[in-house]
Amino acid sequence: MLNEKLDIYIKDDYYPFHMPGHKRNKKILNKKISYQRDITEIRNFDNLNDPKTIFKDMEDKLKEIYKANDFIISTNGSTCGILSSLRTLTKDNKKILVQRNSHKAVFNAIEVFDLNFDFIGVKTDENDMAYDIDYKDLAEKINKNSYSLVFITSPSYEGYMVDLKKIKNL
């Protein structure tokens, strides 16, 4: 769907004045990256900041696939999404619950946004590698404390997944 929309855009007559540097210049890098598809928020397309058509459709499909309440396509990778979500969700309550093996952006956010945090216990193997969280510890901490959010990194850097259904039912 996105590729088809980009193919239509490539064939049109527009000369891109919408952003410095976005001039469809094929010579900038190499032929492997098509700068004809280098777009930002332009007329007759969609806008990641306020998706209405193709990006909205993609977000809805991803929401369905992941059985999520919402899905937001973000730019700048996981770090940007983590920082913006932690900043947004901790304005009133700065206390959060995180794994010891969280994404490093979580710890950056803790420092930059002056957040208070507790750790969720983790289960480790014989090599001291965290392979899961301690669900009992998670449940106890949620019941005893008032957190603005619980941040779960899954999969972990090592590739381990937590049981999201179990967490959802706590």
How many whole angstroms separate alpha carbon 97 and alpha carbon 90? Answer: 11
pLDDT digit string (tens) for 85-121? Answer: 999 999 999 999 999 999 999 999 999 999 999 999 9
Give the pLDDT of residue 28.
53
pLDDT in the model for residue 18: 59
Q: Which of 7-16, 19-28, 56-65, 138-147 has the lowest mean pLDDT?
A: 19-28
Helical (H) or strand (E) element with 135? helix 135-144
Mean pLDDT over 4-33 rounds to 64
Q: Distance between CA atoms of 5 and 96, rounded to whole angstroms? A: 41
Average pLDDT over residues 70-90: 90
CATH class of 77-168: alpha beta
Average pLDDT over residues 62-91: 90
User: Whole-number mean pLDDT of the chain?
Assistant: 85
Residue range(s) of every CATH 3.40.640.10 domain in the chain:
77-168
Q: Give the gyration radius of the chain's Cα atoms.
A: 21
CB-CB contact of 47 with 58 (8 Å)? no
Percent of the chain at pLDDT exceeding 90? 51
pLDDT at residue 169 above 70? yes
85: tokens are: 């979500």
Strand 122-124 versus strand 130-133 pairing type: antiparallel
Contact yes or no for 169/162 (Cβ under 8 A):
no
